[in-house]
Chain A
Amino acid sequence: MYHKEKSIQIKSSASALYNNLSVLRIAPRSLTYFAVVHANVVNMVSASWDGLNYSHRQLQSKEGSVATSSSLIMQAAWCVLPSRELLVLTSQRGIQMYESDGSIMVYWHALDSPETPTAQAVFTRGIAAVREKYICVGISSGSVLVFDVPSKGSNITLSEVLEEHKESITDMASECSGSLECIADLVSADDSGLLCVWKSGEDFQLLNKIPGFDMSCSSVKLWKGTVVAGYGTGQIRLYEAVTGILHAEINAHARWIYSLDIAPFTGLLLSAAEDSLVRVWHLTMTPETNNVEIEHLYNECVTDTQICGAKFCDGDGYAFAVTGYDLTEIIRYTQG
């Protein structure tokens, strides 16, 4: 179904962090941006669609006035809003937002770090762009910060703090089908496997809480009102977001799942884990019967690699890219 393409080399290897690959497709310029985290640095590559031009940039974690920082970056992701795209970095010290090419830092939010280290780790993780103007970021305490983002400029403000989770936030996802009919806008996941479903607005509204079974949910997506959650046990579960009804349970991987992605136009699902496998699935929804089905389509084994990031490069799922711990390349696959 897919064949391997030429890999893109990156300046330093990928760290073993959840969802450690972000992709931004810039159609007007025939470019795709990739971002991969290495400790306290984000490796950014801009690849032209004709495969001829690659340019690299490394973004160091900057905290306030400190030029470089040793604090680890937990996640880097592009947030696509109708008016602008921002690159968001979540680290042990706080949240940084940059223009999409990483050239200018637009906003910095410091986390309340304790003076001396505590047994409980402090960090930020989990990034999602919601509806027209919100960027949501998770914290190790379980809180979710909601930022209000203007259509341009740096006047970003903290709008709300959502307190439902008791364990560290692992990942967050917004409804990606583009449909305005969906009630649920955002799902947040944490280390206990708890999933919270939200509706955005001046005040975010909690629609549902889907309990975990004390098993960390490391990656989550929301598509056409269905939550797709990947767990440390290697299981993937499909829930109806608003009601919490379990539609499907898949024994998908033999090790901890690190990344999930959905191609919104076709319903293709990508899952990747420490077991070296990337799997492609197909989701079908029958809204009349409220039926959700999933079938397995394809496996790709990235030999001797603990995969830490896997993303589709386009909305149809025609191509996908993969990163692995200790690998200094982004491996790409294309249909055909």
Chain B
Amino acid sequence: MSDIISTMFNKPFMEELLRPQDIYSHRAMRTLLTRIAHASIMRLNPASMDKLYDLMIMAFKYQVQLCPRPRDLLLVTLNHIDTIKSFVRHNPRLSNQIDEAQRQLIEMYKPLTDGEFHLIRQTLLIFLQDMHVRVSVFLREKLQNANGHFVLSTSGPVPQGSDVPGLIRLFNNQGKEVKRCEFPSGGTYTSPVREGSFDMAGDRVTRLGTNMYSESAENTQTSGSPKFKQNSQADTTPNPLAKEELNLLAKLMGGMEVQDSPSGNSAFRVNLFTTDQEEEEAGTASETHGMFSVINIQATKDHRANSELARIAGEFTDHEENSDAPSSKGDHLLSLMDDL
């Protein structure tokens, strides 16, 4: 944990993050998050990493989509930071590092207008578009439907600054209210709750961004067959600047203490599937639809499932070949990070 936090909040990395720049592609984001995860002694094979990525993305999407006001994005971030601080409260060096990062975030984002926050939120929603992986804890808590879309309630408190819908006020030319009528709002809304704190410490009020597992003890699984990304046009178009960004990021992260392939004893392997065998099978499927055009058909008991997997893997491979540069870009980037 300390390794990961120390990597994420180190000064040059934070400076790079806070520089004005375009949003990353999914490929870049996944690479970055993989690198962060591997800054610790944790090791995840591609299949488990895929699952972890899907889980992180869906949890983040939930928080972004459910924010009642765009400004609440900052409160969610502060919730994240509050929790991270509590993980390392006995480590003064790390606590200071996080405090400094938090100061920078508040300084940068607190002065933004609602319109500017909303542009950030809209851009994030575009990045998160079309991701509908079902997450068991969300399904169980009835926060997500079976089709992967989140539940948007039409009841509860309205956001700060808004009024409960249902009132029409009419004014005359002198500005005097002359008529008032009500209309059915179609929901059951209540007045806003108190404003959360945007300071270094304080009650953030919103639950978004807090530990979503705090009430459930089970492992979370992402259900369904491996999610193959939709052919989003925004994703496949190569951004020439992105490679430069990623190279710089790679250099910055490479500067941190990194555990090379650890000996069997000191590493611990994270498996997000229920059994090792499942992880291995999923891993095989992942490899076949990676950057290679060879399709490996693994002999398994269920012949039908296997050929279905092979067919899907084949489709994905064709997709990779048709797009312009992402494959080669990904290759180069990953090898670059391996060199560090």
Contacts and interface: CB of A to CB of B under 8 A. Distances in A.
A256 B118 contact: yes
A304 B152 contact: yes
B2 interface: no
Contacts of A304: 145, 149-152
A251 B167 contact: yes
B171 A248 contact: yes
Interface string B133-170: 00000000000010001111010001101111111111
20 contacts: A15-B125, A38-B129, A38-B234, A39-B129, A116-B20, A117-B22, A118-B20, A170-B115, A191-B113, A191-B115, A216-B113, A233-B161, A234-B163, A250-B168, A251-B163, A255-B68, A277-B187, A293-B179, A295-B181, A325-B125
Interface of B: 20-22, 65, 68, 70, 113-116, 118-119, 121-123, 125-126, 129-130, 132, 145, 149-152, 154, 158-159, 161-171, 173, 175, 179, 181, 183-187, 189, 230, 232-234, 237-239
A299 B186 contact: yes
A15 B129 contact: yes
Interface string A246-268: 11111111111000000000000
Contact of A306 (B65, B132, B167): B65
Interface in A209-265: 214-216, 232-235, 245-256
Contacts of B187: 254, 275, 277, 301
Contacts of A12: 130, 230, 232-233
Give the 7 A-B CB pairs with smallest separation, nearest first: A191-B115, A296-B183, A39-B234, A216-B115, A251-B163, A16-B125, A299-B186
Interface of A: 12-13, 15-17, 38-41, 58, 60, 68-70, 72, 116-119, 121, 167-168, 170, 190-192, 214-216, 232-235, 245-256, 275-277, 290, 292-296, 299, 301, 303-306, 325-326
Given A12-B230, A168-B115, A245-B175, 16 more contacts: A15-B126, A15-B129, A58-B233, A117-B21, A121-B116, A192-B115, A215-B161, A232-B118, A246-B171, A247-B170, A248-B170, A277-B154, A293-B170, A296-B183, A299-B184, A301-B154
Contact of A251 (B22, B115, B118, B166): B166
Contacts of A277: 154, 186-187
A296 B168 contact: yes
A39 B114 contact: no
Contacts of B171: 245-249
B175 A246 contact: yes
B114 A254 contact: no
Given A39-B233, A192-B115, A246-B171, A254 B152 contact: no
A117 B130 contact: no
Contacts of A170: 115
Contacts of B125: 15-16, 325
Nearest to B160: A233
Nearest to A325: B125
Nearest to A243: B173
A303 to B, nearest CB: 8
B238 to A, nearest CB: 8
A305 B153 CA distance: 10
Nearest to A118: B20
B202 to A, nearest CB: 23
B240 to A, nearest CB: 10
A126 to B, nearest CB: 13
A234 B162 contact: yes
Nearest to A290: B173
Given A69-B237, A245-B175, A277-B186, A215 B114 contact: yes
Given A214-B114, A301-B154, A326-B130, A252 B165 contact: yes
A38 B119 CA distance: 15
Given A250-B167, A251-B164, A301-B186, A232 B115 contact: yes
Contacts of B20: 116-119
A13 B126 CA distance: 10
Contacts of A216: 113-115, 118
A305 B125 CA distance: 13
B115 A13 contact: no
B138 to A, nearest CB: 13
A326 B163 contact: no
Contacts of B21: 117
B322 to A, nearest CB: 13
Contact of A70 (B114, B132, B166, B237): B237
Nearest to B233: A41
A295 B129 CA distance: 36
A303 B187 CA distance: 12
A191 B116 contact: yes
Contact of A326 (B121, B149, B161): B149
A251 B165 contact: yes
Nearest to B179: A293
Contact of B152 (A232, A252, A290, A305): A305
Nearest to A119: B20
Contacts of A248: 168-171
Contacts of A299: 184-186
Contacts of A214: 113-114
A167 B161 CA distance: 20
Contacts of A292: 170
Nearest to A69: B237
